[in-house]
Amino acid sequence: MDPSNVATDIASPTNTPESRANQKPPTATRSLPGIAYTDPVLYEQELAEVFERAWILVGHISELSEPGHYVTANVGREPVLVVRGHDGELRAMSNVCRHRASTILEGTGQTRSVMRCPYHAWTYELDGHLAAAPSGQGFACLDRDQVALPQFRVDVAGGLVFCCIDPDQMSLAEMLGPVGPYLEWLNVSGLQVHRGPEGARWIEDFDENWKILADNYLEDYHVPVAHPTLVRLVDVRETIGDNNDWCEWSRVPYRTRPSRDPREREYQSLIRRMPGMPEEFENAMGHICIWPTTFFEIYPHHIDMWQLEPAGLQRTRATTMTLVHPDEGEQDRRARELMRELNVDIMGQDVDITTRVQRGVQAPSYHSGILNDEQEFSVIRFQTRLRELLPRIAELEATATGERSVASS
Amino acid sequence: MSPHPDAWLFLPPEVEALVPSLLARLAAAGGGSPDDVERDLRYRIETLILEGDADQWRTFLREATEMVAEYGGDDAEARTVLASILDDQFLLARAVVDLERTDLDAREQLARAGATPPRSSRV
């Protein structure tokens, strides 16, 4: 994309209150069948065809500034690491030792000049080649020149580092579409990862299928019902945004008048743009959704990144990273902490909902539901991609019995 | 179990998004300034969201219903859509408040103004 066009594209989003009113399809759009959230065959397909083919966020460029700096993540079933080499190059590779399959590095940090497996101390160069293995004379045939950690694709967009283990997948820029320039515009690369008491990543596990959590994050139809705080803080009818088939951004203005809730009112009084944040965020917050399960909450004073990872058929791991300005002031810190408190409440409300949904999708009487073409637009887009990638869904839809709660629809 | 005091807040977003401009269209027929009406309504709805409660919301719905019921102009589309949206509000509000006689009267007024099921409420 021509950088000179970025401002124009961002200033003229395709998703506006006016355009949303004219985008309704002629027939009802149905959600995925309930059995798609409990089917073990589909779950295996999802790991292979969704997560192991996607560009997965692994970290922020500020975490990889020096040789030996590394981040780790899971790309589907593949543990990966990204490390800055002695030559300055970023490399992504398998985080699985070629000997007995232990993961080599955990979390984020800085390794020494090599990477050592904690199990039997097989030791790898930062470019992934095996440097040495203890008791090397005991192996009948170990050609260390032939042993290396498999290399994967790594790319950076707006300061965010992504890894893809599928050599045939589209480029990161193509997948991000309008979100790539948007990340640049937000100055994400100029921020740094906040390290709280829990470290650089905050991890929570949920007892629901990953798609239930993703579906919930992707739509704002439930927001007025479940989240009164958000009704008072933002004016969702003024939401604007842009998207391609895979990714989207949106922005929504804060209300300018004070909430009657003391905590919300204090938060409102603290809202202020951090340096480098575009003036459009003077009194607005935003969201970014990156295929398949990376979600950003963009506040004027900081950015939260929330990533879902399947950890079982009915188990999902959520990893949160917070980006702050390197010179975050006291007011921004207080605004961030207050928003975290509000978000803990909001997350609790979402957990209550998604727990109910996990029970409900298993009901024999439930097949699928009708989606709202405006306010569940992103769920429709998301589930359309899943149907394209996962032939098992069509099999499940063909075999699922019709719903019994609605006589005809 | 009583609903949470904030539970009624699921009601206003659709009204906030659609009703001010539609009521402004009705006001134009009476010689009022549509822009002034829309601005005043937006302010009032936002005030209710920020400071109000379920009973105050219901009072607003009744007043909006009166405007629809008394409308004698030619903008039948605006009147019908408004009636449908407001009628939905009364139907949904039953989850958090008990409807009173005046609410039921309001629903009858909305039915006479052309309120139809949600399928027809698209604008």
Percentage with pLDDT > 70 across chain A: 92
Token pair recorded at residue A295: 């979600």
Q: Where are the alpha helices (DSSP H) in A205-261?
A: 210-218, 223-226, 228-233
One domain, residues A239 and A164: no
Q: Which residues contact A396 (CB under 8 A, 6 or more apart)?
A: A33, A35, A36, A39, A42
User: A375 to each of A2, A142, A215, A224, how far by Cα in Å?
Assistant: 31, 59, 12, 11
One domain, residues A319 and A221: yes
A257 and B50: CB-CB below 8 Å? Answer: yes
* Facing residue for B10 by CB, picked from A225, A236, A258: A225
From residue A352, give the alpha-carbon distance in Å to each of A35, A94, A356, B28: 20, 37, 6, 45
A122 belongs to a structural domain: yes
Residues A227 and A318 in one domain: yes
Verify that A161 and A202 share a domain, yes or no: no
Q: Are A154 and A92 in contact (CB under 8 A)?
A: yes
Angle between helices A210-218 and A377-389 (to 10 degrees): 140
Burial of B72 per CB tally in 10 Å (0-12, 13-18, 19+)? exposed
Sorted by sequence, the CB contacts under 8 Å of residue A201 that are 6+ apart come out as A107, A108, A319, A320, A321
* CB-nearest partner of A228 from B9, B47, B123: B9
Place of tokens 């919301």: B57
Q: B17 vs A237: CB contact, 8 Å cut-off? A: yes
Tokens 């970014």 found at: A288
- Domain presence at residue A151: yes
Mind listing the pLDDT tens digit for each residue in A22-37? 666 666 789 999 999 9
Are A175 and A291 in contact by the 8 Å Cβ rule? The answer is yes
Give the whole-angstrom CA distance, residue A210 versus residue A214: 6
Which member of B4, B49, B122 has the closest CB to residue A232? Answer: B49
CATH of the domain at A114: 2.102.10.10
Beta-bridge partners for A72 = A81
Measured between beta carbons, the chain B residues lying within 8 angstroms of A232 are: 9, 49-50
Q: Does A228 reside within a domain?
A: yes
Does one domain contain both A208 and A315? yes
How do residues A186-214 score in pLDDT, each as one tens digit?
A: 999 999 999 988 889 999 999 999 999 99
Domain that holds residue A153: 56-168
Amino acid letter, residue A92: A
Residues A227 and A356 in one domain: yes
Of B9, B47, B122, the CB nearest to A224: B9
Residue A264 lies in a domain: yes
For residue range B17-51, what is the model confidence (pLDDT) as tens digits?
999 999 999 988 777 788 999 999 999 999 999 99
Q: Which amino acid is at B44?
A: R
CATH number of the domain that A246 lies in?
Answer: 3.90.380.10
Contacts of A237 in chain B (CB under 8 A): 13, 16-17
A193 beta partners:
A323
Do residues A87 and A161 both lie within one domain?
yes
Q: pTM (2 decimals)?
A: 0.89
Asked whether residue A173 is domain-assigned, the answer is no
State whether A183 and A270 are in the same domain: yes
- In a domain, residue A406? The reply is no
Which of A168, A203, A237 is where one domain is finished? A168
State how far the Cα of A182 lies from the Cα of A299, in Å rounded to an integer: 14
Give the model's pLDDT for residue A16. Answer: 73
Backbone angles phi, psi at A76, to 5 degrees: 60, -125
Of residues B60, B68, B59, the one with CA closest to residue B24? B68
Q: Answer yes or no: do A45 and A65 share one domain.
A: no
Closest Cα in chain A, distance from residue B10 (Å): 4
Determine the average pLDDT of the residues in A80-95: 98
Query: Which residue of B14, B42, B45, B49 is the best one to mutate when testing the A interface, meaning the one whose CB has the most A CBs within 10 A?
Result: B49
- Based on the fold, state whether residues A247 and A375 are members of the same structural domain: yes
> In 3-state terms, what secondary structure has residue A13?
coil
Distance between CA atoms of residues B41 and B57, nearest Å: 13
Q: pLDDT tens digits, residue range A256-287?
A: 999 999 999 999 999 999 999 999 999 999 99
Same domain, residue pair A74 and A154: yes
Q: With contact defined as beta carbons under 8 Å apart, do B113 and B79 qualify?
A: yes
For residue A366, being part of any structural domain is answered with yes
State the Cα–Cα distance between residues A96 and A115, nearest whole angstrom: 11
A56-60 and A160-164: which strand pairing? antiparallel
Residue A298 and residue A344 share a domain: yes
DSSP E strand boundaries for A138-245: 151-157, 160-164, 192-193, 202-206, 240-243
Q: Is A224 in Cβ contact with B50 (below 8 Å)?
A: no
- Contact check, Cβ <8 Å, B10/A259: no
Nearest CA in chain B to A256: B46
Q: Among A233-237, A405-409, B64-68, B101-105, which is the least confidently predicted range?
A: A405-409
* Whole-angstrom distance, CA of residue A377 vs CA of residue A221: 10
Query: What is the total count of domains within chain A?
Result: 2
Give the residue-averaged pLDDT of A318-341: 96
In angstroms, the separation between the Cα of residue B71 and the nearest Cα of chain A is 26
- The last residue of one of the domains, among A118, A148, A168, is A168
Partners of B92 on chain A (C-beta within 8 Å) are none
Q: Which of A168, A199, A231 is the last residue of a domain?
A: A168
Contact list, B16 vs chain A (CB under 8 Å): 235, 237
Specify if A243 maps to a domain. yes
Measured in angstroms, the CA of A30 and the nearest CA of chain B are apart by: 16
Collapsing DSSP to helix, strand or coil, A161 comes out as strand
